[in-house]
């Protein structure tokens, strides 16, 4: 691999580690919500009585929300439809269902309960070690072999396969928060 190839791989692999930015706990989608099927800006922000308990949300609806955000650009520290980093994406999507996730990847890795890779279900969080030995990237399981995530500084929210060599070698674990 040439010097340029190494630099591109290093940039892409390191881009999703969270910057620690702290968005609103339950972000509300912006203006393009009507086309995406997401709640509109006129939707009331969730209040304590409106929150969905972690055990009550529909994981397939959550995955649908995540998939509706495909194509959203990567933005380091991003946590809204203008751009996401990996943990901002998961925090935003789960926030739409009243589930408050911490902002950082490592903090999200401590949420919920550990799930064996053979028991993955739609809506589970999966974690990867891309830039260090600890969790440095997070994604949402769609089902089967697929997940959706905000992958890198040169990418967009997209679907990938867990069995792809890059991701399977870096898989760290999974957590279920519902």
Active site residues: 86, 137, 149
Instruction: Write a three-state SS string for the chain.
Output: CCHHHHHHHHHHHHCCCCCCCCCCCCCCCCCCHHHHCCCCCCCCCCCCCCCCCCCCCCHHHHHHHHHHCCCCEECCCCEECCEECHHHHHHHHHHCCCCCCCCCHHHHCCCCEEECHHHCCCCCEEEECCCCCCCCEEEEEEECCEEEECCCCCCECEEEECCCHHHHHHEEEEEECC
Q: Which two tokens stand for residue 157?
A: 């929210």
């Amino acid at each position: 691999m040439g010097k340029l190839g190494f630099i591109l791989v290093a940039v892409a692999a390191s881009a999703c580690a969270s910057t620690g930015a702290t968005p609103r706990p339950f972000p509300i989608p912006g203006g393009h919500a009507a086309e995406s099927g997401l709640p509109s800006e006129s939707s009331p922000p969730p209040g304590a009585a409106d929150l969905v308990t972690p055990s009550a949300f529909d994981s397939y609806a959550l995955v649908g929300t995540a998939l509706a955000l495909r194509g959203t650009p990567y933005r380091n520290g991003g946590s809204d439809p203008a751009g996401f980093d990996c943990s901002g994406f998961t925090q935003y999507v789960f926030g739409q269902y009243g589930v408050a996730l911490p902002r950082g990847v490592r903090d999200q890795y401590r949420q919920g309960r550990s799930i064996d890779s053979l028991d993955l279900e739609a809506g589970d969080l999966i974690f990867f070690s891309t830039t260090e030995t600890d969790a440095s990237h997070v994604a949402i399981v769609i089902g089967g072999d697929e997940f959706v995530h905000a992958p890198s500084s040169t990418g967009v929210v997209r679907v990938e396969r867990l069995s792809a060599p890059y991701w399977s070698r870096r898989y760290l674990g999974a957590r279920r928060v519902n």
